[in-house]
Amino acid sequence: MHLAPGQRAILSYYSSLTQAEQAARELRKAGFRSIEIEKIPKQSFPGDDSLRSYAAGVAQLMHSVADMEVQPTGWPVTEPLESHAYMITLVVDRQNANQALSIVRKYASIVN
């Protein structure tokens, strides 16, 4: 993912598809268009700090993938639904970033 000058990428993580879809609907209603919901493997975490570390790792992986100019194809759907979390990736102009952040923070467990 290459960002144009003045753009910012926002990654937000959700424990359910319902939360992710609510956030995406509100973002679209506010005029944001570059919204993608991805299903990612969920792991059992003893606490919020571990979840934040996992999210940071996913963000670093996404950055590495973007540097290789390769788009991820998604995760295999061979595990039960409960074993997944959801991530929204969103590209915004910096002047609209605070509006987008306030929307995703209503529903997300973690925002990078």
* Domain contains 45: yes
What pLDDT shows up at residue 53?
A: 63
Residue 2 lies in a domain: no
Range of the domain at 41: 7-111
CA distance readout (Å), 60 to 4, 31, 98, 100, 109: 19, 27, 22, 21, 18
The reported pLDDT for the residue numbered 109 is 80
- Band the pLDDT of 79: cuts 50, 70, 90: very low
Does residue 1 form part of some domain? no
pLDDT at 43: 60
Q: Contact at 8 Å (CB) between 75 and 39?
A: yes
Residue 70 located in a structural domain: yes
Neighbours of 13 (CB within 10 A): 24
pLDDT tens per residue across span 15-46: 889 999 999 999 999 999 889 999 988 765 44
The burial of 90, by beta-carbon neighbours within 10 Å (0-12 exposed, 13-18 middle, 19 or more buried), is given as buried
Residue 42 lies in a domain: yes
Domain CATH number, residue 48:
3.30.70
Q: Report the domain count for the chain.
A: 1
In a domain, 104, yes or no: yes
pLDDT at 15: 87
- Residue 30 counted as domain residue: yes
What's residue 85's pLDDT? Answer: 86
Question: Cα separation of 58 and 38, whole Å?
Answer: 12
Backbone angles phi, psi at 38, to 5 degrees: -120, 140
For residue range 41-78, list pLDDT tens digits in order: 876 544 555 556 666 666 655 555 444 444 444 444 44
**Is 35 part of any domain?**
yes
- pTM of the prediction? 0.63
Q: How far apart are CA 106 and CA 23, in angstroms?
A: 8
Q: Do the beta carbons of residue 15 and residue 109 sit within 8 Å?
A: yes
